[in-house]
Structure formats: C-alpha cells, structure tokens
Amino acid sequence: MEDDDFKESQPKKMCTEHSSPDAGVSTSIEDDSLSTNEIDRQKAAIKIAKIWEDQIAPWSHYFIAKVYGTSITYGDIYSLKKNSWVTDKIMDAYLELVANREMANGIKIKHMLVTTTNNILNGEYVPARNDKNILMSTEFIIGAYHQSGSHWDLLIIEPLNGRIIFLNPMGETDFQMRTVPLRWKKFIEQLLLQFPADAAVIDKEWNLEVPTHSKQQDGSSCGIYCLMFADKYLARTSLHITPAESNQKRKSIARSLMMFEGYMEGCCPCCGYHTNPVAEPLVKCITCCKFFHKKSHCVGENVDQLNLTEFTCALDRV
Ligand SMILES: [Zn+2]
Ligand SMILES: [Zn+2]
C-alpha cells in the first residue's frame, strides 16, 4: 500500500440490511488479484484518510473498532494523524495487539493497561491476586506510562531475569532513573507481604536498564516512539527511529487497529455496548443502518423525545 492510497476519497455510503464494515466501499479496489486481507487494508486506509481529513468532528466520540478489550473511537484514530498526540486508548489497543502477536509466536507476554502502569510507577498500586502468577510465568510485561504534562514513556519488565526497562523518548530524567526502580520494588514488596511463600521467585534483584534509543525530535511523537520501541525491543532490533519512520508508523498503526472494525458490529456506535433489538428500544440510522440505543446519551434528546425509530446519525449528518 502506497501513501497515495490514503488520499482516495470515500465513495458515498449506501444503506444495506447488513451494515458491515465493507458497506459503501468502491468496487474499483475489489480486484480478484488482491487478497481479502489486502482489500481490507485498502478499505481501512480509505477510511483513515477520511477521518484525518476532518477536523475534530461531532462524531469523534463514536466507537469504530474493538481491539481485544479496548474500544477505540474516531477521535482515537484521529489522534494518530501527523503532529497529534496519541490517546491512552491507542496506546492500550496497540500494545494489546503487540502482546497478542507475540503470544501467537509462543512468547509469554502480558500487556498492562495505562491505568495499571501509572498506578505502579506513581507508587499507588494495590497488587491483585493474579499479579503473582503473571510475575512468575511471563517473559515480558509491557505498559505505557502517561507522564504528567501529556508525555508517554514505555515500561518493559522481564520478570525472569529481574530486568526493568524504562524508555523515555525525550531522554530519561534523573528523577525517573531513581524513582522507576523504587516504585517497581515497592510493588514487589507489597506482593511479598501477600505471598511470602513465593519469595524465592518474586524477591530477586531488580535492576533498571535503559537501552540506547533514538529521541523524538518534535513535541508530539512520544506515543509513536514508545509503540515502536515496544515492537523493536521485542524483535530484538536496534531502538533507532527516524522521524520519517515515525510518521509512517502512524499510518500502519491506524491500519492495524482498523482491522478490528468488524468487532464493533452489533454495537451501538455511540456507547460501544451491544444492541439487542428484542430486549431494548433501538433507533436505526437511515444512511449507515447501524442501530443505536434509544437513549438520549446515544441518539440525543430530540430523537428520544420525538419517539422516532429512525434518524440520521452524526456521522452521516454532513
Ligand atoms: Zn448506545
Ligand atoms: Zn449513520
């Protein structure tokens, strides 16, 4: 897929009974010589280009894809646009994708959500029962750290050899070099209080390591650099990144996440929860044919009050 493909305009959508992610995509790209996967990638690229063309739109809160446990919105995909700061959801969704990719290759890896990573590195985490098992059975634990002031860092733990890898795309500060290992050890100490019998496995020498890595050269690429560090570290390749690679990665991350659009099928685009035509009142969009819950939160107060069964959703109201 070449960059130029992103500039294709999206054809007008048609309403079909089965509103699938395929609906409304030009047949011109449905060439027999292309694999289904490649066609899906091209369709995703067209949608991404359309999302990036718009400014922050009235439908930016609509959900577009469900990546394992993380639902992402149009606004999240928008945040992958060049010079934008990527959202927590993008960090979590892509790292979850990375973890699942590695697990498919036989690597024992666990992704920690941003909220968990933040709680641990801020010294506020209360260990859960399952944490002990994760520590004892995984090769890697990865998580993005949302540093105050809207900046992303990456934490990778290698429990089997006691390695704490911390990567700050701006360069690690003295404060971080001191506090990251202290906060991790605080978490370990709390675990030991709960599971003293497992001390032989959990209580090891933990050491901070900071591999040589490129530094971001702008004010917005920290998240992309962290996601690329995760990819490269797990592939055991150099953590060298150029700005051009970083910009290219924005597109490939967006495409990878959009491959999960189908998992949002049957869900209300506004709240992301499943719709059940038998059990609850729904409102259908006459253009995209997606069903929304008949609640003011999902369709707006007017539609709710007027007792309509059909409307035009924010995405198609243009
Ligand atoms: Zn809803
Ligand atoms: Zn619609």
Report the pLDDT value the prediction gives residue 158, as an integer from 0 to 100: 96
The better pLDDT of the pair 220, 309 is held by 220
Distance in angstroms (rounded) separating the CA atoms of residues 315 and 313: 5
Q: The pTM is what?
A: 0.85
Q: Ligand 1 mean position to 285 CA, how many Å? A: 13
- pLDDT-derived band at 34, boundaries 50, 70, 90: low
Q: Ligand 1 mean position to 291 CA, how many Å? A: 8
Q: Sign of torsion, CA 22 28 32 35?
A: negative
Please give the average per-residue pLDDT across 214-223, as a whole number: 95
- Range of weakest confidence among 117-121, 192-196, 207-211, 291-295: 192-196
Q: Ligand 2 mean position to 312 CA, how many Å? A: 6
Q: Ligand 2 mean position to 212 CA, how many Å? A: 48
Percent over 90 (pLDDT), the chain: 60
Please give the average per-residue pLDDT across 61-88, as a whole number: 94
Please give the average per-residue pLDDT across 34-59, as a whole number: 81
Distance in angstroms (rounded) separating the CA atoms of residues 184 and 122: 9
Q: Ligand 1 mean position to 283 CA, how many Å? A: 10
Q: Which residues crowd ion ligand 2, with CB under 5 Å?
A: 285, 287-288, 313, 316
Q: Where are the domains of the chain?
A: 86-242, 268-318
Please give the average per-residue pLDDT across 290-299, as a whole number: 90
CB within 8 Å of 271: residues ≥ 6 apart: 63, 293, 295, 297, 298
**Ligand lying nearest the CA atom of residue 304:** 1
Report the pLDDT value the prediction gives residue 14, as an integer from 0 to 100: 37
- Range of weakest confidence among 68-77, 198-207, 215-224, 263-272: 198-207
CA end-to-end span of the chain:
29
Q: Ligand 2 mean position to 110 CA, how many Å? A: 37
CA distances from 115 to 91, 123, 125, 318 (A): 11, 12, 10, 36
Q: Ligand 1 mean position to 101 CA, how many Å? A: 31
Please give the average per-residue pLDDT across 263-286, as a whole number: 92
Distance in angstroms (rounded) separating the CA atoms of residues 162 and 303: 57
Percent over 70 (pLDDT), the chain: 87
Is the per-residue pLDDT at 99 higher than 60?
yes
Report the pLDDT value the prediction gives residue 304, as an integer from 0 to 100: 63
Backbone angles phi, psi at 193, to 5 degrees: -65, -35
Average pLDDT, the chain: 86
Is the per-residue pLDDT at 66 higher than 60?
yes
Report the pLDDT value the prediction gives residue 89, as an integer from 0 to 100: 97
Chain segment 233-260, per-residue pLDDT in tens: 999 999 999 999 999 999 999 999 999 9
Q: Ligand 2 mean position to 313 CA, how many Å? A: 4
Look up tokens 């990527």; give the residue. Answer: 86
- Range of weakest confidence among 78-82, 114-118, 251-255, 313-317: 313-317
**Ligand lying nearest the CA atom of residue 288:** 2
Is the per-residue pLDDT at 297 higher than 90?
no
CATH classification number, 86-242, choose in 3.40.395.10, 3.40.718.10, 1.10.357.10, 3.30.70.20: 3.40.395.10
The better pLDDT of the pair 43, 241 is held by 241
Distance in angstroms (rounded) separating the CA atoms of residues 41 and 217: 29
**Ligand lying nearest the CA atom of residue 290:** 2
Report the pLDDT value the prediction gives residue 291, as an integer from 0 to 100: 93
Q: Ligand 2 mean position to 310 CA, how many Å? A: 10
